[in-house]
A and B are shown apart, each in its own frame.
Chain A
Amino acid sequence: MPANFAPSAADYLRILPEIIMTVAGVLIMLLEGWLGENKKRNLSVQTFVAFAAALVSAVAANGNPGLSFSNMLIVDGFATFFRVLVIAVGILSLFSATQYLKREHAESSEYYALLLFSVTGQCIMATANELIMIFIGLEISSIATYVLAGYLRDDKRNNEAALKYFLLGSFATAFLLYGIAWIYGTTGSTNLSTIRIALLTPGSETNVILAGTAAALMFVGFAFKVSAAPFQIWAPDVYQGAPAPVTLFMSAGPKAAAFAVFLRVFMTAFGPITSRWEPFVWSSALLTMIIGNFAALMQTNIKRLLAYSSIANAGYVMVAIAADSQIGVAAAMFYLAAYAFMNIGAFAVVTHFSRQGEKFVNVEDLAGLGWKQPVTAALFSIFLLSLIGVPLTGGFFGKFYIFKAALDANLVWLTVLGLLNSAVAAYYYLRILVVMYMKEPGEATLSLQPVGVGIAATLWISAVGTLVLGIFPSVVLNFATASSALVK
C-alpha cells in the first residue's frame, strides 16, 4: 500500500528510544577514533545521556500509544513497561561497568556501544508486534551480548563463555526461526494479531497441529533465551565466564526482553491453542525451579550460584505464564522488575568484591564482609532476603503474586511445589549471609577497597527499588495489571 509507505511523525516518535540509542551507539564508536586516549572516560557520560534520553522518550511515547510502521511495532503499556525496564537495566549495568573496565584496563568505547545496541534490540523485542521484528530484535540483542560476554578477549574464561553462548544461542535461534517459518506457512502471516485471528477462525482445526508444532519450536527458542529447563545448560558456564558486569546485564535485561516476547507471542498469537502448550510450560516451570534450586545448593562459586538462582527465578516466571491469565501476565511483569533490581544488586556486589582478574568469586571469600563493609553487606542482605522471598521486599511480593495467579488458575500442585522450592532456595542464599556475618574475615575481605561511586549508585538504586516494590507495590502493579490486558 503506497499510501502508508512513508512513515508518519508519530511513527518515528514511537521508536524514538531505539533511534536515540542506535545513533548514540554509532556516534560513540566513531568518537573513539577522534578522541585521544585520555578522553575516553567521558564516553560513559555520553552513554548515560543517551540512555536517559531514551528512557524519557520511552515514557513519552506511552502518551501516544498505537501501532506504527505498518503494524510491525506496537507501543502500548506492555511495551513501555519492558522498554523502561531494559533501559533501566542498561543504566544500572553502565554504572557498575565503568569501575570494572577501569580496573581491568579495558576501557574502550566498544563496550558502551555494544551495551547500547543490546538494549536497542531488547526495546525492539518489547515493541515488536510481528514475528520478524521479534527475530530482528532478538538478534540485535543477542549478538551484542555474545560479544560482550567475550569482552576481555585475552581472558580464557571470557572466550569460553562467548563461544558457548554464541554456538548454543545460534542453535536456539534457528529453532525459533523455523517456528516462525512454520506458523507463516500455516496462517500466512507473521503478525501476532493476524495469527490469533487465523487460529480462532472456525475451520482452522486442521491447522492446530501445525500451529502447535510451530509453538513448540518457538518455545525451544524462547526457553533457551530465558534459561528455562531443559534448555538451561548454557547459563551457569556463561554467567561464570563472562565479565561480572556483563553477567549482571545478561541476567536481567535480555532475560526480561525474552520474557516479554515469550508472553506476547504465547498469550496473543497462541492464546487460542492454550491447552496445547500449557502442559509444556507447566512442566518446564517445575523442572526449571527444581534444577535451578537444587543445583544451586552445591555451588561454591558465587557467580555460578547466582546463575542457578537465575534459572530458578526463570522457573517462577514460567509458573506465571503457565497460569495463562491476566493476573499471570501482570505477575510475570512485576516479578521481572523486582528480579532485575535484586539480581543487579547482587551481581554489583560480586563485581565490586571480585577485584582485578576476578580473583575472589568464591562464596567463602566473602567471609566477614558484614563487619568490614557493613553498608555493602547490608545492601547485599536486602537483595538476598528479596531473593529468598522475605516480606517487605520486591522478591516476596512478586513471588506472592505469581503463586496467587497460579492458584487462581487451579495450579495447586505447582504452587505447593514451587513454594517449597523457594524454601529450599533459602538455604543457599542463607549460606551467603552466614559467610558474610558469621565467619571471621579472611584475606579477601581484609584487602577490600571502599566501594566506588558507580557500584555504590547501582547498589543504592537497586536496594531502594527492591524495597519500594516490596512495601509500595501498587504503582508498578497497577500499571502492570492495566497493561496485561493488552496482551492477554
Chain B
Amino acid sequence: MTLLNVVIFLPLVAFLIILALPKDKPETIRVFSLVASLAVFVASLGLIGPVWSSAPGKFAIETNQSWIQSPAINYHVALDGISLWLVILSTLLTPICVLLSWRSIDKHIKQFFAFLLLLEFGLVGVFCALDFFLFFVFWEVSLVPMYFLIGVWGHERRIYSAVKFFLYTMAGSMLMLVGIIYLYNLAGTFDYTTILAGLQSGAITLSPVEQLWLFLAFFIAFAIKVPLFPLHTWLPDAHVEAPTAGSVMLASVMLKMGTYGLLRFSVPMFPNAARTCAGWIATLAIIGIVYGALVAMVQPNMKKLVAYSSVSHLGFVVLGIFSFTQQGFDGAVYQMLAHGISTGALFILVGFLYERRHSLEIGSYGGVATPAPWLSTAFMITMLASIGLPMLSNFIGEYLVLQGASLVYFRWTVFAALGVILSACYMLWLYQRVFFGKASEDLTHHMPDLGVREYAIIVPLILIMVWLGSYPQSFIPPISASNAILLGPLDARREIHVKSMPARPAPVLAAQGDLANAR
C-alpha cells in the first residue's frame, strides 16, 4: 500500500463513512469531512518528496496490479511532475470547499459532503491513472457527484445545467471509449506506458487515417471538458448554477482533466495527427481567449463573468500545448495550477458576496470596499493574479505560453496577448463597479467583513498565489522534466514525418525547423 493509494482511496473511505453517519448530526458530518479531507491533503504533501527525488520526469510511486484478467485491465497508478501538482491541487481545494460549504449548504448536508469526497476520489484518480480503462473509470466517476452537486444544491436553473453538463461530457466520453477500445484491439493492453512505448518504437503502427481518427476521438472528449471554443456552452451554465463549492471544484480541477488529457495522452500518442490539426486547434484556442474575454466583459452576472474568464484562460493552456515547445508545455501546466488557485479564489470570493447579499448581479453591489475592506483587499489581490500581474500566479504561466507560442506562430500570438489586456479590462471594471463608489445604506447593513472561517479559506490561497508568482522554482523543475519527456519524441517524430510526407510540408513543421535552428 503506497502513499499514493492512500491518497486515492481515503476519500472513498470517507465517502462511505459519511453515508453511514446519522443525518441529524450535521456538525459531526462537517467536522468529519473537514478532518478527512485535511488528512488526504497532508498525506498528498508526502507525495512531493518521492516524485522530486525520483529520476527526473519519470513516474514515481508506481502501483501496477492486475484488476480484471481478461481483457487485461490493471490498476496502474503513478505520479510524475505534472500529475503531482494536479493531485495536490485537488486535495488542497477539497478541504477548502468543505469549509466553504460549512454554513452555506443547509439542506441534505450529509449527501453534499459525501458527494464532495466522492468527487475528490474521482479527480485524484484521473490524474494518477496510467491504464486507459482505469482512467475512463475515474473520468466518469467524477461526473456523477458533480452532476448531483449542481443539480441538487445549485441555483434556479440548476436542473437544466446539470443535465447539460452530464450529457455534453457523456457524449465526448463515448467517443473516447471507442478510441480506447480501438487502441486496445491494436495493442492488446490498456496500459498507457506500454502503448506509448509501442507507438514510439513502431511496435504498434497506426496508419495516418487511423491516427487522425483516434486523435479526434480523444481530442473531442478532452476539448469538451477544457472547454475549447466552440464546445464551451455547457460551462457558463454549469458554473453559474452550481453552489460555490461546485463552481470551485469545476473550474479549478475538473477543467484540468481535459487539458491534462491533451497533454498526457492526445499529443504524445498521436503526434502526427496532433501536428496536422495543430493549426486549427491553436486558432480555436486563440478565438477562445479573445471571445471568452469579450463575452466576460459584458456579463452582468459575476459568476458568469468568472466562467467566461475561465474559457479565456484555458485557451492559453491549449495554445501552450499545441505549440509543441518546452516553454509552451511548461506554461500550460503552470497555467493550469495558477488558474486553479486564482479562479477558484475568485469563485470563493464571489460566493462570499453572494452569502451576504444573495445576489450575483454586479448591479446590486457598489461601494463594498467601505464596509468590508479586507474582503475587498482579498478580491483585489486575487483579481490581479487572475489578470496576470507579475509576481502573482497567472503571470508565469501566461508568459511562458505566449513565449512558447510566439516561437511557432508569432503573428497569431499577438491576438492571444490581446486576451491578457482584455482580462485586465473586464476584471478591473468588475472591481470598480462592485467595490468602489458610494455604498448604499442597505448594502452596508448586509456587508460584514471577512470572518474567521473565511480568512482560513482565502488567506492560504492568496499566499499560494504569491508563492506561485514569485518563486516558480519550487514548482517547475519536476514539471519541466516530465514535459521534456512528453515532448521529446515529438521532436524525433518530426523528421520521420517530414520524410514520409515530403509532398505536404505543414507550416507548423517549418516553424519547428526554424525553432531548432534558432536554438
Interface residues of chain A, those whose CB is within 8 Å of chain B, are: 371, 374, 385, 388, 390-392, 396, 400-401, 403-404, 407-408, 412, 415-416, 419-420, 422-423, 426-427, 430-431, 433-434, 437-438, 472-474, 477-478, 481
Contacts and interface: CB of A to CB of B under 8 A. Distances in A.
B174 A390 contact: no
A392 B68 CA distance: 12
B268 to A, nearest CB: 23
A391 B163 contact: no
Contacts of B170: 388, 423, 426
B70 A407 contact: no
Interface stretch (B79-87, B138-146, B363-371, B496-504): B138-146
A456 to B, nearest CB: 18
B137 A391 contact: yes
Interface residues of B, number: 33
A420 B171 contact: yes
A390 B152 contact: no
B162 interface: yes
B167 A400 contact: no
B185 A385 contact: no
A473 B68 contact: yes
A474 B68 CA distance: 6
B177 A390 contact: no
Considering residues A392, A400, A420, A481, which has the most beta carbons from chain B within 10 angstroms of its beta carbon? Answer: A400
Given A371-B108, A423-B171, A431-B163, 11 more contacts: A374-B111, A385-B144, A388-B170, A403-B177, A407-B181, A415-B181, A419-B175, A426-B167, A437-B152, A438-B152, A472-B68
B265 interface: no
B70 A478 contact: yes
Nearest to A477: B70
A392 B137 contact: yes
Contacts of B143: 390
A434 B159 contact: yes
B158 A438 contact: yes
Nearest to B173: A423
A391 B185 contact: no
A392 B141 contact: yes
B137 A415 contact: no
B148 interface: yes
Contacts of B70: 474, 477-478, 481
Contacts of B163: 427, 430-431, 434
Interface of B: 68-71, 108, 111, 136-137, 140-141, 143-144, 147-148, 151-152, 158-159, 162-163, 166-167, 170-171, 173-175, 177-178, 181-182, 184-185
- Interface secondary structure of A, over-half rule: helix
Contact of B148 (A431, A437, A472, A473): A437
Contacts of A477: 68, 70
A438 B171 contact: no
A470 to B, nearest CB: 9
Contacts of B147: 430, 433
Contact of A422 (B69, B137, B174, B181): B174
24 contacts: A371-B108, A390-B140, A390-B144, A391-B137, A400-B181, A404-B71, A412-B178, A412-B182, A415-B178, A419-B175, A423-B167, A423-B170, A423-B171, A423-B174, A426-B170, A427-B167, A430-B147, A433-B147, A434-B151, A434-B163, A437-B148, A474-B68, A474-B70, A478-B69
Nearest to A420: B174
* For the complex of A and B, 8 pairs with smallest distance between CB atoms: A391-B137, A419-B174, A423-B171, A423-B170, A391-B140, A404-B181, A438-B151, A426-B170
A400 B176 CA distance: 12
Nearest to B163: A430
A427 B162 CA distance: 11
B158 A419 contact: no
A391 B163 CA distance: 18
Contact of A407 (B162, B175, B178): B178
Contacts of B137: 391-392
B250 to A, nearest CB: 18
Contacts of A412: 178, 182
Nearest to A481: B70
B71 A403 contact: no
A163 to B, nearest CB: 38
B27 to A, nearest CB: 20
A400 B158 CA distance: 31
Contacts of B166: 426, 430
Given A407-B181, A407-B185, A434-B151, A416 B175 contact: yes
A481 B69 CA distance: 12
A348 to B, nearest CB: 21
Contact of B159 (A390, A422, A438): A438
A400 B70 CA distance: 13
A419 B170 CA distance: 10
Contacts of B171: 420, 423
B36 to A, nearest CB: 20
A433 B163 CA distance: 10
A397 B310 CA distance: 34
A437 B166 CA distance: 15
A390 B182 CA distance: 19
B69 A474 contact: yes
Contacts of A426: 166-167, 170
Contacts of B184: 404
A434 B159 CA distance: 7
Contacts of A433: 147, 151
A433 B115 CA distance: 15
Considering residues B144, B166, B174, B184, which has the most beta carbons from chain A within 10 angstroms of its beta carbon? Answer: B174
A472 B171 CA distance: 26
A281 B182 CA distance: 22
A423 B162 CA distance: 15
Contacts of B108: 371
